[in-house]
């Protein structure tokens, strides 16, 4: 296993590779699932390259992504950190759609037991509440995870897309190790209240979609046609006309990439890494060359002037389109 830069998630002491690997897209959301054997070999290639932080959830598939991650990482027990999530009510008949939210304590405990089996591990390293459930007081959720930690079944508690107020309430019951929420050059809302709260409480930040669901790589244009099962078809800011308008972000990254002999994706990730030493982005991919490209971001050092220049230019741009629509939009920031 190669050594790469490591980071600690806040004051928890949980140390992981400075970039993790988001595994969702291998089984879910981005068109048909990828070939399982190929994805196992990709996850293992990530471990060989020094990645020690892998992200999954029971709802991805459902279940198939956890099974994939469990099989791929079985030979590396104790050497890697696996994060998974609870909080959705899934169709008992195995349908692909979730039926609603469910963070009742007894459900959390059932999910933990099932995830442990699928992941082939004795304890879940980081167990996130996937979305805040307005029907269950967050103190009860934190208490249930605290029980799992005392029982040795979970090591760390995480939250996803939670508001600063909810984070504070949960953290008072069971210290939160990490918050996973969307954060990138074209979604900077966490900078206003979320990041200062994380800094104050000593909680790490795990940005998902650090490359804007692929858009900031420059590989998606207004003419790109997504698979009919690709969730990006429902993302307002990724409609063809909004992609055309939002291309200014990519052009800005391309300009900086030329100066730094890097790629737009590497600049976008390097910018995120430069924000705080306890930020660990989890870009996802199905391709080995993209994994290598993303890891190359760890060697890109942006100067304070370069960061200022990027941020000045970005502040002049108005992103076209919301990041979520319909139900998905209602589940964030609670």
Angle subtended by helix axes 304-315 and 240-260, to nearest 10: 160
At 46 the pLDDT is 98
Catalytic position from the list 30, 60, 128, 183: 60
Residue 183, in any domain of the structure: yes
- Per the DSSP assignment, residues forming a β-bridge with 279 are 205
Q: Which among 3, 28, 23 has a CA at the least distance from the CA of 15?
A: 3
Integer Cα distance of 10 and 159 in angstroms: 14
Integer Cα distance of 213 and 131 in angstroms: 19
Residue 1, in any domain of the structure: no
Q: Are 270 and 262 in contact (CB under 8 A)?
A: yes
Q: pLDDT for 222-247, tens place per residue?
A: 999 999 999 999 999 999 999 999 99
Instruction: Give alpha helix (H) positions in the chain.
Output: 36-48, 64-73, 105-119, 138-150, 164-173, 194-201, 240-260, 264-275, 288-295, 304-315, 326-330
At 137 the pLDDT is 98
Residue 121, in any domain of the structure: yes
Q: What is the CATH number of the domain that holds 52?
A: 3.20.20.100
At 75 the pLDDT is 98
Q: How far is CA 51 from the centre of its chain?
A: 15
Whole-number average pLDDT of the chain: 96
Number of structural domains the chain divides into: 1
Q: Which among 158, 216, 164, 157 has a CA at the least distance from the CA of 190?
A: 164
Q: Which among 196, 178, 198, 195 has a CA at the least distance from the CA of 187?
A: 195
Residue 222, in any domain of the structure: yes
Please, how many CA atoms are within 13 Å of residue 82, restricted to the half-sphere of its CB?
33
Integer Cα distance of 141 and 87 in angstroms: 10
Residue with tokens 């244009």: 221
Q: pLDDT for 138-181, tens place per residue?
A: 999 999 999 999 999 999 999 999 999 999 999 999 999 999 99
At 242 the pLDDT is 97
**pLDDT surpasses 90 at 326:** no
Question: Residue 67 — φ and ψ, nearest 5°?
Answer: -60, -45
Q: Which among 60, 21, 62 has a CA at the least distance from the CA of 40?
A: 21
pTM over 0.75: yes
Domain that holds residue 140: 6-330
- Per the DSSP assignment, residues forming a β-bridge with 7 are 16
Q: Which of 23 and 329 is assigned the larger pLDDT? A: 23
Residue 60 designated active-site? yes
Q: Exposed, middle or buried by CB within 10 Å (0-12, 13-18, 19+), for 143?
A: middle
Q: pLDDT for 87-123, tens place per residue?
A: 999 988 777 778 899 999 999 999 999 999 999 999 9
């Amino acid at each position: 296993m190669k050594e790469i830069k490591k980071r600690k998630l806040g004051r928890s002491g949980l140390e992981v590779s400075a970039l993790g690997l988001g595994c969702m897209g291998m089984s879910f959301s981005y068109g048909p699932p990828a070939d399982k054997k190929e994805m196992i070999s990709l996850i293992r290639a990530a471990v060989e390259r020094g990645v020690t932080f892998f992200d999954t959830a029971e709802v991805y598939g459902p279940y198939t992504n956890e099974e994939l991650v469990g099989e791929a990482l079985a030979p590396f027990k104790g050497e890697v950190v696996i994060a998974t999530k609870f909080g959705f009510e899934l169709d008992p008949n195995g349908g692909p759609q979730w039926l609603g939210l469910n963070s009742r304590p007894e459900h959390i405990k059932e999910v933990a037991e099932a995830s442990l089996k699928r992941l082939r591990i004795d304890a879940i390293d980081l167990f996130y509440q996937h979305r805040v459930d307005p029907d269950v007081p967050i103190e009860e959720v934190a208490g249930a995870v605290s029980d799992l930690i005392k029982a040795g079944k979970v090591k760390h508690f995480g939250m996803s897309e939670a508001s600063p107020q909810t984070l504070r309430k949960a953290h008072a019951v069971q210290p939160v190790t990490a918050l996973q929420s969307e954060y990138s050059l074209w979604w900077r809302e966490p900078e206003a209240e979320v990041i200062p709260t994380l800094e104050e409480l000593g909680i790490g930040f795990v940005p998902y979609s650090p490359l804007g669901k692929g858009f900031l790589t420059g590989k998606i244009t207004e003419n790109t046609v997504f698979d009919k099962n690709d969730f990006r078809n429902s993302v307002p800011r990724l409609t063809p006309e909004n992609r055309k308008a939002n291309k200014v972000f990519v052009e800005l990254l391309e300009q900086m990439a030329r100066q730094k002999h890097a790629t737009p994706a590497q600049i976008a990730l390097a910018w995120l890494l430069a924000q705080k030493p306890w930020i660990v982005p989890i870009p996802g991919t199905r391709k080995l060359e993209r994994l290598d490209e993303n890891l190359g971001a760890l060697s890109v050092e942006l100067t304070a002037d370069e960061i200022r220049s990027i941020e000045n230019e970005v502040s002049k741009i108005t992103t076209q389109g919301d990041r979520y629509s319909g139900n998905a939009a209602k589940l964030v920031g609670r």
